[in-house]
Amino acid sequence: MKPTQITLLFIALINVFSFQLLAQKKNQPIQLESLLEQYSKEFYALNPLEATQSGVNDYNNQLEITISEVYVKNAKALNQKYLTQLAVINKAGLTASQLLSIDVLTYKLKSENERLNNSMWFYRPVDQFVFSFPTRFATLGSGAGFVPFNTEKDYRNFISRMKGFQIWVDQAIANMKKGIEKNNTNPKAAMEKVPPQLKPLFEGAVEANVFYKPLLKLPTNLDSITAVQLKKDYSNAIENIIKPAYKKLHDYIVAGYIPKARKTSGLLDNDKGKKEYELWLAYFTTTTITAEQIFNLGLSEVDRIRKEMDSVKTLVGFNGNLKSFFEYVKTDPKFFPFKTEEEVLDRFRSFLDKMSPQLNILFNLTPKAKFEIRATEKFRAAGANAQYNKPSRDGTRPGVFYEVIIDPAQYNYFAMEDLFIHEAIPGHHYQLAIQQEADIPEFRKAYTTSAFAEGWALYAESLGKELGMYTDPYQYLGRLNGEIERAVRLVVDAGIHYKGWSREKAIAYVLENQPVSSVEAEQRIERYMVLAGQAVSYKIGELKIIELRERAKKKLGIKFDIKEFHDEVLKDGCLPLIILETKINKWIESKAAKK
């Protein structure tokens, strides 16, 4: 072969090789995107309620029994299938967003499998807190949640889900019985709150049941015959499916579970309780922080915030110690200005106008979705806290900030601004709505971690003065109360589940450090007793975001832009803290390198 021919052949081989590399790079994102899309489809097929919440309506007549062995087996298999596929993805040529998707999904699947492989929680499916499934299902059945009631099919789909709830109740009772055998129960003090929550769901007339509420707003396009038949069938389902299921659960908890539930507060007295607490801390904080570190951090933060509270006490001219100042704020009539529920809600609604000019200074990214403020429904108010429900993807359902208003005349106003910032704007509403509206894969639109979501909302509280809020010193005290509540959680959560604190000792610690009533303190401690680790995620997340902001300010100097920082935190959706830190560090380095 002549030299010229050899040269031409060499050039041709290079061209072929280059074309193959280009094709590989070009096709790789398509393969990844296809994998991520398929994962979401299979995840939603396994988790129909989460599908409905995300606007995927293919499974609206199904209800996953997440506390069954079959579900756990299938979930673990699904996670492992995609971990295996992700491990062999060629990352060459992928964008930063695509690489982030791989990291987030890998973390998500590993974290979920660790939880599923150590399923001590499996035997404690019912508790008094608002996240407990019997309460959640009633909220969905009332029409106040994300389940649609727009067509006849929607109603009949929910009748199918009522039948699924019957199965869930049977599984829950079976699990609780095994839990008793395995020395793995919820605390008796917390479980005694459950029967009063369940009673209204099976006692009384069908028309008075919360599940009947969707029938009061039947679709207007139904003909009279269809409407009459639907109302009959739906009422029968409440009478013959829902009410017996809740009664069966109630009766078992009263007669079979509470008498055998543990009398202690923390997980330490459950089988493998110490190991379980370590797992929950990792799961909820998305860090490697230990219980001892959490406890000591909590003590330090409580001490710091108490000093700030002392400064407010001095500013308003109160004579007395901090404990008596707390008592004053809890009881003085001036902190209870409301007569009606609507007055409370209107005060919350006024806050957006107050902070709107400053929001543009702190944020580029803002959600398109609307939001509303509502009082928590009475049937679930007893065990509930303020909470935020995210909007629907299609814009038909706004984001909703729910506040518990049992008696307006007894509603204390001093922490209202702080609560609004946390639950609504720029807290949960900004973070969750922006996530849903972001140009990211489906699974990332739905993915959440407590440390990021709650950490952001608590971080948002720290922006109050920059938003023109907290000008009233008592409202700033409300901010400090919100912050110290999350710091106190570090102490009492680790105290209960790591150091063996009693319920009474934990309640006393809350009352010593916060201006709350005994009832509120009991409610909070009983929440931490049944939901170990989750409560510490708020403070851990907030401190990490503040740490990253201060790192960026120090490194970037005059290049630092608070709006850009907030964009970077929010634009990619919810992230594990370990991944968020890596991402922000890369952003800092990239911005610092630019001239």
Q: Report residue 57: phi and psi, to 5°.
A: -105, 15
Contact 214, 162 (CB under 8 A): no
Q: How many CA atoms are closer than 13 Å to the CA of 465, on its beta-carbon side?
A: 6
Contact 420, 401 (CB under 8 A): yes
Contact 296, 482 (CB under 8 A): no
Instruction: Name every residue whose Cβ is closer than 8 Å to that of residue 66 and which is 6 or more positions away in sequence.
Output: 47, 72, 75
Contact 359, 566 (CB under 8 A): no
Angle between helices 3-46 and 96-117 (to 10 degrees): 40
- What pLDDT was estimated at residue 316? 97
- What pLDDT was estimated at residue 377? 76
Q: Which two tokens stand for residue 47?
A: 């988790």
**What is the spatial distance between Cα 177 and Cα 122, in angstroms, rounded to a whole number?**
11
Q: Which two tokens stand for residue 324?
A: 């008596």
Mean pLDDT by 10 residues, the chain (595 residues): 46 42 50 96 98 95 97 98 96 94 98 92 93 94 92 98 98 98 96 96 96 96 96 98 98 98 94 94 96 98 97 96 93 96 96 93 94 83 77 87 93 95 96 95 95 97 96 96 96 98 97 90 95 96 98 96 97 97 97 87
Distance, first Cα to last Cα, the chain: 53
Instruction: Name every residue whose Cβ is closer than 8 Å to that of residue 7 and which is 6 or more positions away in sequence.
Output: none
Q: Minimal CA–CA distance to 576: which of 108, 112, 116? A: 108
- What pLDDT was estimated at residue 7? 43
**What is the spatial distance between Cα 398 and Cα 424, in angstroms, rounded to a whole number?**
12
Query: Any idea how long the chain is?
Result: 595
**What is the spatial distance between Cα 348 and Cα 343, in angstroms, rounded to a whole number?**
9
**Spacing of C-alpha 335 from chain mean position:** 30
Rg of the chain taking only CA atoms, in angstroms: 26
Per 3-state DSSP, the chain is made up of helix, strand and coil in percentages (nearest 5) of 70, 5, 30
Cis peptide upstream of residue 391 (ω within 30 degrees of 0): no
**What is the spatial distance between Cα 245 and Cα 380, in angstroms, rounded to a whole number?**
18
- What pLDDT was estimated at residue 29? 64
Contact 270, 263 (CB under 8 A): no
Relative to beta strand 387-389, strand 399-403 is antiparallel
Q: Is residue 460 packed enough to be buried (19+ CB in 10 Å), middle (13-18) or exposed (0-12)?
A: buried
Facing residues of 375 across strands?
A: 403
**What is the spatial distance between Cα 472 and Cα 462, in angstroms, rounded to a whole number?**
15
- What pLDDT was estimated at residue 14? 41
- What pLDDT was estimated at residue 383? 58
